[in-house]
Structure 1
């Protein structure tokens, strides 16, 4: 199962989410999008999921703590206990034995990040 993990600011646009996803490798093969639970109801995220025809996987913030990520944001580390929400959410939602196939990519306006992980979906 291939999952796109997304991290973003509350005022993110659909265009920024799309751009980050394309920069991370694109939509091909994506079975779900994932983000931290408190942002899973974002309108822009819902629109993206509808465009892709995939569900949104909501990952509780406490499950992101301690995920080893390839990229590091000090701000994200302080707030969530992991270096990248996008990478950690993708790994958490992709299931056991998940691995990153694309590290965090950032939209040009810096309001969205995306990473892609692949796992067994369980």
Structure 2
């Protein structure tokens, strides 16, 4: 039996997004995949995600904006590629925050108001390590 990795939700969102946009996207992830261990956001998008983390009692991880283009994502949004250099900010952030060997559990989900996206990555836990 292998150890369970951390489930990290990464967020991407437009400047018009509200806390409710992010909360709704997070709720969709939880409905689809179950409990979330940590939240993550690009450093430039951190404040709104930190508020959500405080309200939900979930730790937030910051990811350097400069690292976003280094990640291959499942989604290939032209707008995201132009603005941030990655096909999905949410997917890239989730993978970067989850660390080397992490895998996405699926493509990003989009909030009902289409202002925010969220994706869930599972961190790799080395054999013999328990949480």
Which of 39, 53, 57 is matched with 1:53 structurally? 57
SS at match of 1:30: coil
Per-residue CA deviation, residues 60-90 of structure 1 (Å, 9 max, x unaligned), is 1111113111111111111222100000000
Larger strand percent: 1
Gaps spanning 5+ residues in structure 2: where?
1-5, 127-131
SS at match of 2:117: strand
Per-residue CA deviation, residues 18-76 of structure 1 (Å, 9 max, x unaligned), is 2112223448432211111111022xx22320233122111111111131111111111
TM-score normalised by the chain length of structure 1: 0.87
TM-score normalised by the chain length of structure 2: 0.82
Do residues 5 (structure 1) and 10 (structure 2) align?
Answer: yes
Deviating above 6 A after TM superposition, structure 1's stretches of 4 or more consecutive aligned residues are none
Task: List aligned pairs for 1:73-92, cutoff 5 A.
Answer: 73-92=77-96
1:121: Cα distance to partner? 7.1
- RMSD between aligned alpha carbons? 1.9
Bigger Rg, structure 1 or 2: 2
Q: Number of aligned pairs?
A: 120
